[in-house]
Amino acid sequence: MALTVFNTLGNRKEPFVPIAPGKVKMYVCGVTVYDLCHVGHARANVVFDIFVRYLRHRGYDVTFVRNFTDIDDKIIRRANQEGMKTEEIAERYIKAFYEDFDRMGLLRPDVEPRATKHIAEIIGLVDRLVATEKAYVVGRDVYYSVKGFPAYGRLSGKNTEDLLAGARVDVDERKRDPLDFALWKSSKPGEPSWDSPWGAGRPGWHIECSAMAMKHLGETFDIHGGGKDLVFPHHENEIAQSEGVTGKPFARYWIHNGFVNINQEKMSKSLGNFFTLREVLKKVKPEVLRFFFASSHYRSPIDHSDRSLAEAKAGLDRLYRVKEKAESCSSAGASSFPEGSEFSPLRDAPAKFEEAMDDDFNTAAALGYLFDAARALNRLAPADTAAEKEKAGQFLAGYAILEPLFGVLGLLQMSAKDYFRLDYTHVGNISVEISVQSEVGYSPGSRTGDRLSEAEILRRIEARKVARARKDFAEADRIRKELEASGILLEDSKGGTTWKYKT
């Protein structure tokens, strides 16, 4: 199966065909470094970390660029509040970013550009836009003229009237159109500034990413990623200004991850349900959070709650018990595992895993296949590794099949001994009991036998979600009833669909 991705530009799944065969150029919008990262940042970064890992697993030569926005109104405000320089604030939170995300096991990008190191490139782009009248100068400010780009709104799928009604735009009567946005801002007294043809100032947010992406990946590259909240205005504006300069497509595939809800409510500081990544990692191990993110399709909203984290911990613990057995078998030396249909989920795991990931990076379905394979592998678990060396070798050989697949998701990256030594006994107020049975299940209490596998359940849930999106409610209802007849109950919430076995 060829890799397909959901392209926000067009709002559909498309076959992924890179510009240069075997090579992928990918830019992901990074954080604005004025505060600690929150769980929404964590999801976005883990999502694209998995994408990079999988593309490399499939043999692509990936150039991954993720930026830091180190000059911005928010950074200036924080610096003024604390009586510090903006560069000191930026350095503080870049350091904090690395501390947090190194714990999360993120791969470092190939290039991590900072906006303040690309001022010359930014000025060059703005100058070209002014020269071609795609932008205009007002005093010492420069604005992009949205009306001069007829395709504006193509990414977000709305016309300019709709965008104007919902956009949060700067109020400036000097602008020719309320949707016009700043490319260059004149500096106020005491603010950081750089010399330009229009006077001392600093870049607008949107032009920074265009300059950094084009500097390191060229005028057209393969993938541009970020959170769903960046579709408008940030990514819409990037397209307008970049293509306004070059006349070429900016990025061929635009990929956006869904939101994180907190206890079924949108995460918001005003609601008091805003959690930094550091706060969350005081309650759960970093890999538990990775597992939690991977358990849902990246485009779906997810509900972050004590219970969801407890369930993620239970699932990851089960996988680490499998690794624990493999580590106990290490002295036996690997051998081939036996034939038999009961071991087909293990033999087929790599192909099934890639089939799921090739379908728009469906990590939820991929995890389901890994649990099916782990369950089959546990049938080979020796009671005594010293006395049953042949069986121990077979178990080790089976685990070797799964190990690189876990690596794609960034899971099982530490020894089982270290993982369980760092155990967290509670998530919030929820105590999690871990089954010590040899069976491996995807959710607490799951069993096999005649019941559907977790992978099949997840595939049907995904099919139901697609049916609901196209308003085929009869088909969605049919899938629900079919699952219920098989002993599976679905529960829909703002955070997505969860399932459980009938009791």
Which of 128, 94, 89 lies closest to 114 in space, CA to CA?
94
Query: What tens digit of pLDDT does each residue of 34-64 get?
Result: 999 999 999 999 999 999 999 999 999 999 9
Angle between helices 349-358 and 389-408 (to 10 degrees): 10
Q: Please, how many CA atoms are within 13 Å of residue 219, restricted to the half-sphere of its CB?
A: 10
Checking DSSP bridges between strand 4-7 and strand 12-15, what pairing results, if any? antiparallel
Q: Please, how many CA atoms are within 13 Å of residue 459, restricted to the half-sphere of its CB?
A: 14
The answer to whether 233 touches 167, Cβ cutoff 8 Å, is: yes
Which of 397, 424, 466 lies closest to 314 in space, CA to CA?
424
Between CA 220 and CA 276 the distance in angstroms is 35
pTM, 2 dp: 0.83
Residue 225 β-bridge partners: 28, 255
Average pLDDT estimate for 108-132: 98
Between CA 99 and CA 456 the distance in angstroms is 38
- Cis? peptide before 233, omega within 30° of 0: yes
Between CA 401 and CA 97 the distance in angstroms is 33
N- to C-terminal Cα separation, the chain: 37
Which of 220, 236, 239 lies closest to 228 in space, CA to CA?
236
The pLDDT confidence band at residue 343, using thresholds 50, 70 and 90, is confident
Q: By three-state DSSP, how is residue 490 classified? A: strand
Between CA 65 and CA 45 the distance in angstroms is 12
Which of 501, 436, 453, 460 lies closest to 342 in space, CA to CA?
453
Checking DSSP bridges between strand 488-493 and strand 496-501, what pairing results, if any? antiparallel
Query: What tens digit of pLDDT does each residue of 219-246 get?
Result: 999 999 999 999 999 999 999 999 999 9
Least confidently predicted of 16-30, 308-322, 402-416, 434-448 = 434-448
